Amino acid sequence: MTPRIAVAAVTFDRPKELSVLLDSIKAQSQPVDTICLVDSGTTPAADVAAAHPNVDYVRSEANLGGAGGFALAALKAVASGARWIWMMDDDAEPADPECLATLLREAEARGLEAVVPLVTAPGHPGRLSFSSASMARLRTTGLRWKSVASFRTTATSSMVR
């Protein structure tokens, strides 16, 4: 039996990007049970959400910020009974329809509780989507990321752009 899968997503005034994200989730070979979407924008995206199946749309009149929006979306996802939660921002999209299936397969094969796809900069698939400051903080943990190429051997099919 396939475990329940939810997407926890946030949006803020990017209806075109949100539509692309929702379309790309629908196109995944591994279907999701629900998309928990928190909208903190100044212009509601309810019409975009309504055009896509399985979206549990929450409109927040207050700007919760990214962390607050993700926290609320994750709580909704947990309440839905999801075993797996895929966190997505409105300006991200999976690189291909096998992204989620690859993440799940690798997590289950390795007994992992969390997996993260390689995230590349929009329009620059050879560059990681992290700031220099973020990379510096990661270095203090002992992680040594040499290049995007070093990730591709294990992350090619699980990229988010």
Q: What is the pLDDT of residues 55-102, one digit of tens each?
A: 999 999 889 988 899 999 999 999 999 999 999 999 888 888 999 999
Which distant-in-sequence residues (6+ apart) come within 8 Å of 62 by Cβ? 40
What average pLDDT does this structure show over 14-33?
Answer: 95
CATH 3.90.550.60 for domain 5-160: yes
Q: What letter does residue 3 receive in the DSSP assignment?
A: P
**Domain layout of the chain by residue ranges:** 5-160
Q: What is the pLDDT of residue 33?
A: 96
pLDDT of 142 over the 60 cut: no
Q: What is the pLDDT of residue 157?
A: 42
For residue 120, name the pLDDT band (cuts at 50, 70, 90). confident
Which phi and psi angles does 59 have, rounded to 5°?
-95, 125
pLDDT of 26 over the 70 cut: yes
pLDDT of 146 over the 60 cut: no
Q: What is the pTM of this model?
A: 0.78
Average pLDDT, the chain: 82
Q: How many residues does the chain have?
A: 161
pLDDT of 129 over the 80 cut: no
For residue 136, name the pLDDT band (cuts at 50, 70, 90). low
Higher pLDDT, 102 or 148: 102
Higher pLDDT, 66 or 34: 34
Q: What is the pLDDT of residue 145?
A: 43
Higher pLDDT, 86 or 160: 86
Q: What is the pLDDT of residue 54?
A: 94
Is 84 buried (19+), middle (13-18) or exposed (0-12) by CB count in 10 A? buried
Cα 24 from chain centroid (whole Å): 11
CA max distance for the chain = 45
